[in-house]
Structure 1
Amino acid sequence: MKRRGKGALPALHVRVDLVPGVSFGPGKADLLQGIAETGSIAAAGRRLGMSYKRAWSLVETLNRMFRAPLVSATKGGLSGGGAVLTPEGEAVLARYRAIQARVAAAAAEELAALHAAAADRR
């Protein structure tokens, strides 16, 4: 999982506007993927360089964005807390990643041409 804005260039970022004011993009997808991989909202947030509060806020937003929650979290304590993607969360993440892959494949030639025409400003 890579933080937005880093990685191979040229880069294309896909954001899906679901309804006015409600969008799903690379940041939310990366947070879901991090939760799936680490079993922790805090750990997923740390991977992305975001605060615990910000990660939790995004999870709450994600859980309200869809008809069913995308993340199921358990409170900490002696046995520790944790978080997992619900089946809906897994499906949303998979669909978004499929959209990303299709968009990247469809735009590869044009992105390469733009990259070749861009000035190296390092």
Structure 2
Amino acid sequence: MSKSASPGPALSIRIDLDPDGRIGPGKIQLLENIQATGSISAAGRAMEMSYKRAWDLVDELNRICGQAAVDRQTGGKNGGGAILTPFGESLVSRYRAIEQAAAAAARQQLLALKKDIGKKAR
């Protein structure tokens, strides 16, 4: 979808856990991709990032949360993989719930903003 076809203003939620620790849509999407693919490298490729970048983000999540969100599986015949830990699954679920609640709370203001922006474009 092109930006001009966008439905209008939308929220993007970033949660600041400490001055250097943030959780936002990118890290959550990475976790969802890991859950879907069973692989950190495949999850990173789906987001057009290197394995190193994907692993660094997973490592950062684990550090700022004080527990593992992703569990790496050691390789066998077909190589290793990765799965979300119960904490990782909860983190994704809780983030998506916060995102939905914030969007619902801001819906009227976002619609008003869209209307105001539409007036200026005419």
TM over 0.5: yes
Aligned equivalents of 1:77, 1:53: Cα separation in 2: 21
Q: Does 1:106 align with 2:120?
A: no
- Matched residue of 1:23: which SS? strand
* Counterpart in the other structure of 1:46: 45
Q: Does 1:32 align with 2:31?
A: yes
Structure 2 unmatched runs, 5+: 1-5
1:67-89 CA-partner distances (Å, limit 9, x unpaired) = 22000012445221110000010
Structure whose alpha-carbon radius of gyration is higher: 2
Give the alignment's TM-score, normalised by structure 2. Answer: 0.85
- Matched residue of 1:83: which SS? strand
Compute the displacement of 1:41 (Å). Answer: 0.8
What residue identity is the alignment partner of 1:116?
K
* Counterpart in the other structure of 1:9: 8
Structure 1 unmatched runs, 5+: 1-6
- Matched residue of 1:82: which SS? strand
Q: Which has the higher strand share?
A: 2
1:55-114 CA-partner distances (Å, limit 9, x unpaired) = 111011111111220000124452211100000101111111100000011111111111
Q: Does 1:63 align with 2:59?
A: no
- Matched residue of 1:89: which SS? helix
Aligned equivalents of 1:20, 1:69: Cα separation in 2: 20
Q: Which has the higher helix share?
A: 2
Aligned equivalents of 1:48, 1:11: Cα separation in 2: 21
Aligned CA distance change for structure 1 residues 75 and 8 (closer, same or farther; 3 Å): farther
Greater Cα offset, 26-35 or 48-57: 48-57
Percentage of identical aligned residues: 50
Matches within 5 A, 1:71-110: 71-76=70-75, 78-110=77-109
RMSD over aligned CA atoms reads 1.8
How many residue pairs match? The answer is 115
